[in-house]
Amino acid sequence: MNGNRKPLLAVTMGEPAGVGPELIARAWRQRAELDLPAFVYVGSIQALEAVDASLPVTRIDPELSNIPYASDDFLAVDVPLADSLSIGVLNSRNGSAVIKSIEWATQAALDGRVDAIVTAPIHKASLYESGFDTPGHTEYLARLCALPDDHSVMMLTTDGLRVVPVTAHIPLAKVASSLTADQIFHAGMVTARDLHDRFGVAKPRIAIAGLNPHAGEGGTIGMEEATHIMPAIWALRDEGIDVSDPQPADTLFHEEARATYDAVLCMYHDQALIPLKTLDFWGGVNVTLGLPIIRTSPDHGTALSLAGTGEARIDSLAAAMKTASAMVREQAAK
């Protein structure tokens, strides 16, 4: 970010038949009311016009090195669709435009043309038919940043709670066999670094959730706490990271407990997502840690059944944009 100007974000359309374009258009119309940062839309203008035909779109040359900052128009880098569009109905032939949108926004952030990216939800099953071969957005962004797919770390955040699932989109039956001390150590290191550099936490405190009920209860309800989790904790402490011993997950998320840490490493997806979505179902934000760029995303899916109805809520997208802006400012202040 140059000078004292406000951050400039690139916001990708996500699945064009989903709620992404509609919510992005509404975010622009409510930008003053919601106090949102400036942004440029990256995606199909056709998808925008399908949900908001009167939007005052200004096309931006994708090769432009200096994206206009202040404008009363809706700034857009057009990524044309490959095939027809019907709102609420998937067309996998348009997956290539989704992928190109992500690629352009990521490169623009790496080049410094934008300060951060916010990605609207994608439909992975549809993208797989377009050659998308990574488990999800998080891994694909790592690849675009010339990093291994497993380098990036997913964090979900809302006011008063940040959670990091060490394993994410795998069956519950495979969690114990997939979990490793190296994974936990990597997630802890990346989380501590980004909490310090991008969230302004001077000395991050990280709580560690046990895998088993009662955190294994001394080995009587499972040994993973001793064999997998504690070695990672010792290694993190050797690096100067403030981490707890494995804690029973059922006592980690009440108000008093949340005051004792800055983030929780959870061992599997629902262990992390259930408390966060219970605390704030509408306003959670997905943050990708460990990348040279800042990326956030709404914590919801494509919501095809709501697309075009005007009923989808803007809370999570607005929160994602504000979170990205705050992270840019915090990093610039270092």
Q: List, for residues 259-301, the tens digit of each pLDDT value.
A: 999 999 999 999 999 999 999 999 999 999 999 999 999 999 9
| Percentage of residues in the chain having pLDDT higher than 70 | 98
Percent of the chain with pLDDT over 90: 88
pTM metric for this prediction: 0.95
Encode pLDDT of 219-235 as tens digits: 999 999 999 999 999 99
pLDDT tens-digit map of 280-291: 999 999 999 999
Q: Is the pLDDT of residue 3 over 60?
A: no
| Length of the chain as a residue count | 334
153-158/205-209 β-pairing: unpaired
Res 1 pLDDT > 80? no
- pLDDT at residue 4 is higher than 70: no
What is the full DSSP assignment across 242-309?
A: EEEEEE-GGGSSSHHHHTT-SEEEESSHHHHHHHHHHH-TTT-EEEEESSSS-EEEESS---TTTTTT
- pLDDT interval class at 71 (50, 70, 90): confident
Q: What is the pLDDT of residue 128?
A: 86
Distance CA 92, CA 272 (A): 31
Q: Provide the pLDDT for residue 306.
A: 95
pLDDT category of residue 125 using cuts at 50, 70 and 90? confident
**Does pLDDT of 155 surpass 70?**
yes
Residue 83 has pLDDT above 80, yes or no: yes
SS3 199: helix
What does pLDDT average to over the chain? 94
State the pLDDT confidence band at 73, using cuts at 50, 70 and 90.
confident
